[in-house]
Structure 1
Amino acid sequence: MADDNKAHTAISFHEAAVAAIEAQKERLVRQVTLLQSKRAYHLSAIRYYKGLITLARRLPPEVLTYIFQICIDLGYPRTPLNVSGVCSEWRKAALAPTLWSNIVVDPDSDERSLQRRIKFRLDRSGLAPLSISLSLSRSAVFMNVLAMLMQHTHRWSSLYLTAESSQEVDHFLGIFGRASFPLLSNIGLRLSFTGGEVPLGVDLQEPPLAFGDAPRLNRLSFHAIIPQSGLFYESLSLLKITSLILATTPRHQDVELLRLFTCLPLLQTLILKSKISIVDGDIGTIAEPVHLSWLRKLDITGEIEMLNLLPFIQTETLSHLHLRAVVPVSEEEQVQGSLADCLHSFIATQGHALEYFELHGFYLSAVHMSSYFTHLPNLVELQLHDSDISDEAIRLFSGPDACCPKLSKLDFRWCGQVTGKAMVSMVQNRLRGSHNLHSINEVTLIHCSFVQEADVLDLAALTICRLLGKPDDYCRGSTCCQNERYRQRLQLRQMFGVGGRVRKLTKNLIL
């Protein structure tokens, strides 16, 4: 009996102890919860005040708006919607009317919300000029959206039309002819062929009839479409077109191409892009040269046969020449005979005012390449990509009889002949200012086989030396000029002295 009482007493004691512990535990849990709440409060305050001093919050709204606009231009039209949820400052910057002025109506648009979204953008864009992109359709939803947009034609600044047929384009051009477009400066037309034979040319509504009240219209672009001659060409001469872009895949008559140029006497910028040959070799037997008195920029991308077009373009004002081969010409193939002569003849007769010269994907012989520079007295920048240049040609840029006395920028990529020693010697020679030669202010060298690390560092001691591409490079969408591993190795070797003596990396070396 005594043992039972002792056991019950012990049980009561331990139960009381457990109850006390549980009570203490509950008090501690409440304290921990309170401390966690206080901690969360202070962390929230820290984030808030850190947010006040971050660069993103301290940027002026106009700078943020500019950054958001760049994102939109790069193909992210939903940028203002996405950034609005970041913070209040970004939301304010995203309310800028210009960020809502890009209106796209495409076949993949959700018809149920399309009208609501277009109205939302029209309201948000305020009075800002509109850039309109339409995939043409005769559906009821599209026609309702178009009617909504036509109420704002006084704000249209750019118009891009995509259609399945030229008849579709012509139908809507007739609709546009009833409106006024005081701000419209840019029109683009694209036919989205899905298969079969692509026509050589298409008939279109005369532009002055379609856009008779568009006094600022000066830029045309055609994608996968080459208009036929006739009334369309004649009506073009009534417009003050200064910029023409032809991005085309169909083969067409090159004579028609030259006739199109003839109808645009005020042309200042001409851009041709084609994945196949757009010029036949016998063009000279049936075509007359076209004189473009105001042409300043000629940009051609295509197969090497495009060089046949050059002798038929005459101008005294050309300052920028860009020639790019869709399929690079290898060292074994080279650009031979008449094609190389076409380029030489063009530069010899039209190159006096040339300031920027780019060759992309052309392998020309050392003799041909060297012969061009003697006709370029005003050349300021030379860019070669997959287009070799020899040390002999580099030496032409220095000395008492140097070519291109105004040359100040060189950009060589994937050039397998030029050596770093020749580059250093030429830059040193021009740096002295002798013979009235301009100094070389910037050199870009990427994947040049015979340019050594020591040469790069020597050049960086003399001028700005880039091993990195530029944001506006033609090839920026590919990885050919990223050069990332080489740049990292160079930086690490110089930091840790691997492979020889350490040379301090100067600010002139852009990695």
Structure 2
Amino acid sequence: MDRGWYHNVVVSSTPLTSVMDCVSCIREPTEDDMTLIRQIIMSDEEAIQELNSETTILYSVLERLRLQKDKHQENIRRARSLLTLARRLPPELLARIFETCAKSGWTRAPVAVSQVCSAWRKAATFPRVWSHLFLDLRSGNSTGKVEFWLSKVQHAPLHITLDIPLESPSLDEVLGLLIPRSKQWHTLVVKSVDSTTMNYVFRRCSFPLPNLRQLNLITETESSQGEAVNMASLQDAPRLSRLLIVQPNLPQWSSFMGVTKLHVVLSSSTLFTPSINATDWIEMLQALPELRDLTLELSKPGTRTYNDTQPTVDLPHLELLTLHVSPEVNGILLTMRAPALRQLHLRCSSEPLARPHMPSGAHLCQFLESSPCVRLLELYDVDVERIDFVRCFELLPKLEELRLHDSDIADEQLRLLHGGNGYCPNLARLDFHWCNYLTGSALVNLTRSRLPQDEREGRVPSTMPPTRRIHEVAVINCLHVKEQDVLDLAEMTLCRLLMRSDEDHCYTRGCCNNERYRQRLRLRHNNKLPETVIL
């Protein structure tokens, strides 16, 4: 930049006459002195006016420089924007990102992103961006939205969500537009107020669905006539593998041969809570021979009556079982035999009992007799007798992870897991929340007993199967686990004082937030805790 103008700026230097040096008497100035003083004032005022003019010129130069600087900064910003990753992403990857946004619940994502810039508008032309169609039939012009969406999706897979109110005049027209595209349906989610509307949708959809993978049916109540949801018309779906059913009663169907994942949520109103019939449960499962993941959940806290029965159903491929029910319903375990089960999650849907629930412990032990391959056992607010813990340990030689929430397990039961000759030799992870009968010293002793013999004695470690030592211990809100116990555990393994984010059931319930305890622990140790303490 040429800086010559800066050196050519001439600032006038008007001589400054001191009035004190000119007057003959400061206390009593004469007439001549007063005339001289007036001349000095006039001279200084003229000098100020000249300086103001020069200052204005310099301010205008400064403003011109500031504007030039802003222009250069804006040019830099635009230049850098051309170098960002977003500018260099190929349209195929952008389209995948937009599709993920729509899948996560941002229903207007395809419309919004297509109005950002030409590059995004080009990426939004990919048909898969428009694959997720969310229709709330309470809003107006649903048919117009369907027509617009189908024109964009072309032949890409369709993931449809229908939210149907009690009265929906546009339902017939919407179904009339969607049914001709039935071969593109990959996911269908239907939400209705009662079973009558749901059955009407099923009757309209009584045609082959060759590519349907996932079906979610959510019904708040049965109809006033007591009409149950009838899924008989949805049998011709050879690729259907995932089912989510939310309704007051257990679903019934003739056969869904390919379903591998079933999640049943039994909803209930304040006026009527239907019982759970074991016979209906067995008949439901017998129609799912390939089932691998099964969840039964009660939508509201409280208890349900359970009608027991003697017959059982074999689930040879079941690997994951989750029961989020009241303690009285845990007897449903006796209706199933799952020899290949890997994970068992028992969670209480009602308020925790003040004492162990004896029938739950007996049912659990009897169920585990036919499930010797369980690797993960979680008991969430499902407390059993201590003798039942011992029996569970005997029945689980392959157990790798134990999760207990609000349990009465004590030191005596942990001692049964000590050393290479203890129960559950493959146990590698412990996760204890609100276990107030358990001491920290018991956890330390258990972890130390699982160390290789050479490592315990301070010698060079010898080779030993890694599954025989405890890899991680989580302790959250356990009354008798002290700070020194945490530090002792951290010397031998990972000690976690934090939930596992969304993998932990406590994360959604918010019952094990120990932020204040973890903050105090950091401050006491000046943020210099071992890396093996996970905060």
Alpha carbons 2:96, 2:129 under 8 Å: kept: no
Q: Which residue of 2 aligns with 1:494?
A: 525
Matches within 5 A, 1:77-476: 77-78=107-108, 98=128, 100-109=130-139, 111-112=140-141, 114-115=142-143, 117-119=145-147, 121-122=149-150, 125=153, 127-136=155-164, 139-178=168-207, 180-193=208-221, 199=226, 202-206=228-232, 209-212=233-236, 214-226=237-249, 233=253, 235-236=254-255, 239-250=257-268, 251-254=274-277, 255-274=279-298, 275=300, 276-280=302-306, 282-284=307-309, 287-330=310-353, 332-336=354-358, 338-347=359-368, 349-432=369-452, 438-471=468-501, 472-476=503-507
**Counterpart in 1 of 2:461?**
none
In the alignment, the residues of structure 2 paired with residue 168 and residue 305 of structure 1 have an alpha-carbon distance, to the nearest angstrom, of 32
Alpha-carbon distance in structure 1 between the residues aligned to 2:146 and 2:365: 52
Partner Cα distance (2:491, 2:217) in 1: 50
Closer, same or farther in 2 for the Cα pair 1:321/1:148, shift >3 Å? same
| Deviations, residues 198-234 of structure 1 (Å, cap 9, x unaligned) | 95x714141xx3352x2201222210243665xxx3x
Q: Distance in 2 between matches of 1:57 and 1:491?
A: 42
- Say if 1:417 and 1:450, in contact at 8 Å, map to a contact too: yes
Unmatched segments (≥5 aa) in structure 2: 1-35, 269-273, 455-463
Alignment deviations for residues 14-51 of structure 1 (CA, whole Å, 9 cap, x no partner): 99778756654553443343233233234435545666
Q: Which residue of 2 aligns with 1:499?
A: none
Greater shift after overlay, 362-371 or 464-473?
362-371
Cα distance in 1, alignment partners of residues 225 and 491 from structure 2: 55
Contact 1:329 1:335 in 2 (8 A): no
SS at match of 1:103: strand
- Checking the alignment, whether the CA contact within 8 Å between 1:226 and 1:248 is kept in structure 2 is yes
Residues 205/415 of structure 1: CA separation in 2 closer, same or farther (3 Å cut): closer
Instruction: For 1:344, give the aligned amino acid.
Output: C
Q: SS of 1:495's equivalent?
A: coil
Question: Are the structure 2 counterparts of residues 65 and 463 from structure 1 closer, same or farther at C-alpha, using a change threshold of 3 Å?
Answer: farther
> Alpha-carbon deviations, 1:146-197, whole Å to 9, x = none?
333334333221111112332222222122223x433211112121239x98
Query: Counterparts of 2:479 and 2:125 in 1: how far apart (Å)?
Result: 51
Task: Provide closer, same or farther for how the CA distance between residues 488 and 269 of structure 1 changes in structure 2, counting only shifts above 3 A.
Answer: same
Residues in 2 aligned to 1:482 and 1:295: alpha-carbon distance in whole angstroms: 33
Provide the alpha-carbon RMSD of the alignment: 3.9
Cα distance change of structure 1 residues 186 and 465 upon mapping to structure 2, 3 Å threshold: same
Change (3 A) 1:94 1:220: same
**Does the 8 Å contact 2:220/2:267 carry over to 1?**
no
Instruction: Identify the match of residue 35 of structure 1 among 50, 65, 69.
Output: 65
Report the secondary structure of 1:270's partner residue: strand
CA distance in 2 between partners of 1:486 and 1:92 (Å): 51
SS in 2 for 1:329: coil
Aligned match of 2:514 in 479, 483, 504? 483
Q: 1:147 to 1:308 in 2, by over 3 A?
A: same
Identity %: 32
Residue 368 of structure 1, CA deviation = 2.1
Q: 1:458 to 1:165 in 2, by over 3 A?
A: same
Whole-Å separation in 1 of the counterparts to 2:40 and 2:451:
100
CA gap of 1:95–1:165, structure 2 versus 1, over 3 A, is same
Greater Rg over alpha carbons, structure? 2
Check 1:475–1:121 CA distance in 2 against 1; reply closer, same or farther (3 A cut). Answer: farther
1:134, 1:161 within 8 Å by CA — same for their partners in 2?
yes
What secondary structure sits across from 1:183 in the alignment? coil
How far apart are residue 364 of structure 1 and its match? 2.3
CA shift at 1:361, angstroms?
A: 0.8
Q: Counterpart in 2 of 1:500?
A: none
Q: 1:217 to 1:418 in 2, by over 3 A?
A: same
Between 1:39-48 and 1:90-99, the stretch displaced more is 90-99
- Alignment correspondent of 2:21: none
Contact 1:374 1:403 in 2 (8 A): yes
CA distance in 2, matches of 1:222, 1:198: 21
Distance change in 2, residues 1:191/1:315 (3 Å): same
With over 3 angstroms needed to count, the CA separation of the structure-2 counterparts of 1:253 and 1:430, relative to structure 1, is closer
1:295 Cα deviation from its structure 2 partner: 1.5
The question of whether the paired residues in 1 share the 8 Å contact of 2:131 and 2:159 is answered with yes
| Counterpart AA for 2:311 | E
**CA separation of 1:119/1:421 partners in 2, compared to 1, >3 Å: closer, same or farther?**
farther
Task: Assess, with a 3 A threshold, how the Cα gap between structure 1 residues 399 and 166 changes in structure 2: closer, same or farther.
Answer: same
Count, aligned residues: 481
Distance 1:115 1:17, change over 3 A: farther
**CA contact under 8 A between 1:442 and 1:465: conserved in structure 2?**
yes
TM-score, normalization: structure 2? 0.77
Q: Which amino acid aligns with 1:368?
A: D
2:372–2:398 Cα contact (<8 Å) kept: yes
Q: Can you list the C-alpha shifts for 1:51-74, whole angstroms capped at 9, x where unaligned? A: 678788899988887777776565
How far off its partner does 1:354 sit?
A: 0.6
- In structure 1, the gaps of 5 or more residues are 1-5, 497-503
Question: What SS does the corresponding residue of 1:476 show, helix, strand or coil?
Answer: helix
Letter in 1 for 2:339: E
CA distance 1:307–1:60, change in 2 (3 Å) = farther
